[in-house]
A = this chain, B = another copy of it.
Amino acid sequence: MVNVGILGATGMVGQRFIERLGDHPQFELTALTASKRSAGKKYEDAATWYLDSKIPEVAEDVVVVDTDPNEVKDVDIVFSALPADIAAVVEPQFAEAGMIVASNASAMRMEPDVPLVIPEINPEHLELVEIQQKNRGWEGFIVTNPNCSTIALAMTLKPLYDHYNIERVYVSTMQAVSGAGYSGVPSMAIVDNLVPFIGEEEEKMELETLHLLGDFDGESVTPASFGVSTSCHRVAVLDGHTEAVFIEMEDEFEVDDIKNSFAEFRGLPQKLGLYSAPKNPVIVREEDNRPQPRMDRNAERGMAVSVGRIRKDEVFDRSFKYVLVGHNTIRGAAGASILNAELINEIM
């Protein structure tokens, strides 16, 4: 068993980490950090548990410590659910102290020597770790996963990108409130309403998606060269981001082949049989009115992305459209970091 800890364990994503590490076959949850205010308390006293599952027993009695590498002993991997500004300061300290940091925070994602990885998409980017350690003189290292809405999108673009030349992608999102944290979206803002704006989300999607699909030449990543334009919106859904995707290809295609590309897609986690890996990373739904967030977010324990309404665009040439749903705090956050750690644990 590998000892693991969670940085920022009391928030929304921190709780998802705990939920999924409570009975993990390879990872033993031994450390939980939070702000100074919570340090010294047992986890069950420090946190208000927001999920409808129970707090895993392994976490209940863990005494929360300050988010400081000196407080986190005998831990090999830390998962980071920290806010970006704190992550920028603290994650390097943990890497310097020799730990592997599997981070869901955005702070380090775009550093040229920090891998931004989804195991099904670009596991080879992990080779950046060596460069990172050399550059920075760290014993440990940082590996990151993308933003929640990016992950769901990229999971569906990867099988296409493997078979086709993509010309351009337009994406309009309908994102769940949990993405903003437990108190991020007041009920007054969202009941009988929606909010057509999420700070920095569009920029992240447009940049990170191409980075994930980019080429690694042993030194650095060259982003994929097609275009992704996004519009991001918050709707009255608890969990599960929905995205309407319009794609123009460079060449002709058959819609059935597109569907097959989705349905048959398998990546390295599937080959290696990693514990958190979904059997089918992309699930194709044939019903008229699916995927829907409440119905499909938990597919494959929340680790698969569901796509539906795959249809030819009757208006534009070489174009088609689909709708996807992915669980934003599982596949799009905690589950993504854990899958990264499982891959690292297996191959590095």
Contact = CB atoms under 8 A, between A and B. Distances in A.
A323 B231 contact: yes
Contacts of A298: 52
A291 B196 contact: yes
Contact of A186 (B182, B289, B294): B182
A235 B308 contact: no
Nearest to A296: B52
Contacts of A295: 52, 193
Most buried by B among A206, A242, A298: A242
A196 B292 contact: yes
A235 to B, nearest CB: 5
Contacts of A319: 229
A238 interface: yes
A274 interface: no
B227 A191 contact: no
Nearest to A227: B315
A184 interface: yes
B188 A182 contact: yes
Contacts of A253: none
A52 to B, nearest CB: 5
Contact of A242 (B194, B206, B316): B194
B231 A195 contact: no
Interface stretch (A21-29, A69-77, A114-122, A166-174): A166-174
Interface of A: 12, 50, 52, 168, 170, 172, 174, 177-178, 182-197, 199, 206, 227-229, 231, 233, 235-238, 242, 244, 246, 288-295, 298, 308-309, 313-316, 319, 321, 323
Q: List the 4 shortest-distance A-B pairs measured between CB atoms, nearest first.
A: A172-B172, A193-B294, A231-B244, A197-B289
12 contacts: A174-B194, A174-B233, A182-B186, A183-B186, A187-B187, A190-B191, A195-B289, A196-B323, A229-B315, A229-B316, A233-B244, A235-B236
